[in-house]
């Protein structure tokens, strides 16, 4: 691309100051992104089905292909499998940009890595990941339908 590039990179450059603080702040403001999805949770059967399709099917397939099928396998060329599992779990947790949830995402990433190392089949971690994500969406939907303020619950964590 030439100097007059258009698209996401130009937008990224135009949104940041000289040291990138503004862009980093936008990226790390994960709660705003999650809060923007809250109106979809429990609002209708269709919106819940769409959320389940994206978070319970598409995201696990994509993430497990990247983190276990590619990254972890690539790491085993240079480090022992247990180390590759830990590194891929840490990168998985960091990639979610949710600092307060790093510990549980690291544990989940470790379990997903162990399941892949044992089976050498991506279906196993994809299924576990899908059940995890679907459980979160269904729990939030249930709480919303019971009258809980999910936004308030998420902001207290």
On the 0-12 / 13-18 / 19+ scale of CB atoms within 10 A, 38 is middle
CA 42 to mean position of chain CA atoms: 21
Q: Please count the other Cβ atoms lying within 10 Å of the Cβ belonging to residue 152.
A: 8
Are 60 and 53 contacting, i.e. CB atoms less than 8 angstroms apart?
Answer: no
Q: Please count the other Cβ atoms lying within 10 Å of the Cβ belonging to residue 43.
A: 13
Residue 71 forms part of a structural domain = yes
Count of domains for the chain: 1
Q: Smallest Cα–Cα separation from 110: which of 95, 125, 99, 123?
A: 125
Q: Whole-model pTM? A: 0.73
* Confidence tier at 18 by pLDDT (50, 70, 90): very low
- Residue-range definition of the domain harbouring residue 103: 30-155
Residue 62 forms part of a structural domain = yes
Residue 89 forms part of a structural domain = yes
Could you give the residue ranges of the DSSP H alpha helices within 1-157? Answer: 8-15, 21-28, 30-37, 45-53, 59-64, 73-75, 81-95, 102-119, 123-145, 150-155
pLDDT for 78 beyond 70: yes
Q: Smallest Cα–Cα separation from 93: which of 107, 74, 79, 113?
A: 107
Residue 115 forms part of a structural domain = yes
Residue 23 forms part of a structural domain = no
Residue 85 forms part of a structural domain = yes
Residue 118 forms part of a structural domain = yes
Distance CA 3, CA 48 (A): 43
Residues 36-67 pLDDT 10s: 666 777 677 888 888 889 989 999 999 999 99
Residue 81 forms part of a structural domain = yes
Locus of tokens 């499998």: 81
């Amino acid at each position: 691309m030439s100097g007059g590039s258009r698209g996401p990179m130009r937008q990224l450059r135009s949104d940041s100051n000289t040291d990138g603080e503004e862009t980093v702040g936008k990226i790390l403001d994960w709660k705003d992104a999650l809060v923007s999805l809250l109106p979809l949770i429990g609002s209708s059967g269709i919106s819940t089905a769409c959320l389940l399709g994206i978070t319970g099917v598409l995201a696990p397939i994509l993430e497990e292909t990247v983190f276990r099928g590619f990254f972890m396998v690539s790491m085993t060329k240079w480090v022992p499998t247990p180390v590759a599992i830990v590194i891929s779990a840490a990168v998985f947790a960091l990639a979610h940009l949710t600092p307060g949830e790093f510990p549980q995402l690291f544990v989940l990433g470790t379990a997903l890595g162990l399941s892949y190392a044992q089976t050498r089949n991506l279906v196993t971690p994809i299924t576990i990941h899908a059940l995890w994500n679907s459980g979160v969406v269904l729990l939030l939907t249930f709480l919303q339908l019971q009258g809980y303020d999910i936004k308030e619950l998420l902001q207290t964590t």
